């Protein structure tokens, strides 16, 4: 797209899939390389001019059948990048059993996800269903006004 830089992380080992992010060319961006292709995540820091705080943006896809080892890798990455003063995370996390209104879940993997959201001081901002009656596509931020 004209006027935008494309950042992408293609799915490894299979055709199709992956994550991508377009950022306006006027922004100075740095892709943070995690060096691990077992999770489909892309992490970008957008540098603001006039000494305002940088913002880190994450785009993730978590397959419904992702194993606990891949979840651990994701949580490690999340813990590192969420230390940014301004952090936004978007993606499809495929955890339909989470009740975001009460921050509860039935499955162990979903409860672990909720723990890491809380540990990293993230607020989930999607309140309406996005697919099949549940909010699967989510938006998180660590400060008000970022979503």
Three-state secondary structure along 2-45? CCEEEEEEECCCCCCCEEEEEEECCCEEEEECCCCCCCEEEEEE
The DSSP call for residue 128 is S
pLDDT given at position 16: 74
User: How is domain 4-141 classified at the architecture level of CATH?
Assistant: 4-Layer Sandwich (3.60)
Residue-level pLDDT at 48: 76
| pLDDT mean over 44-60 | 85
Examine the pLDDT at 49 and tell me if it is beyond 90.
no
> 36 or 5, which is more confident?
5
Range with the lowest mean pLDDT among 63-67, 111-115, 134-138?
134-138
Our CA angle for 129, 132, 138, nearest 5°, is 40
Sketch the domain layout of the chain as residue ranges: 4-141
Distance separating alpha carbons of residues 59 and 48, to the nearest angstrom: 19
28-32 and 40-47: which strand pairing? antiparallel
Give the integer Cα–Cα distance in Å for 59 and 44.
Answer: 9
Contact, 43 vs 60, CB < 8 A?
no
pLDDT for residue 134 is more than 80: no
Q: What is the pTM of this model?
A: 0.89
**Residue 50 confidence (pLDDT) above 80:** no
Higher per-residue pLDDT: 15 or 112? 112
Q: What is the mean pLDDT of the chain?
A: 90
Q: Provide the terminal-to-terminal Cα distance of the chain, rounded to the nearest Å.
A: 23
* Residue 12, pLDDT score: 77
């Amino acid at each position: 797209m004209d006027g935008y830089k494309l950042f992408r992380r293609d799915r490894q080992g299979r055709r199709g899939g992956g994550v991508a992010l377009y950022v306006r060319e006027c922004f100075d961006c740095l892709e943070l390389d995690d060096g691990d292709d077992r999770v489909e995540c892309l992490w970008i820091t957008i540098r603001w001019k006039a000494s305002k705080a940088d913002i880190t943006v994450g785009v993730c896809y978590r397959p419904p059948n992702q194993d606990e080892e891949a979840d651990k890798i994701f949580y490690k990455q999340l813990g590192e990048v969420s230390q940014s003063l301004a952090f936004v995370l978007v993606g499809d996390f495929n955890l339909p059993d989470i009740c975001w209104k009460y921050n509860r879940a039935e499955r162990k993997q979903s409860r672990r996800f909720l723990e890491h959201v809380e540990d990293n001081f993230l607020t989930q901002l999607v309140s309406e269903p996005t697919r099949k009656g549940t909010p699967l596509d989510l938006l998180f931020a660590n400060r008000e006004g970022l979503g």
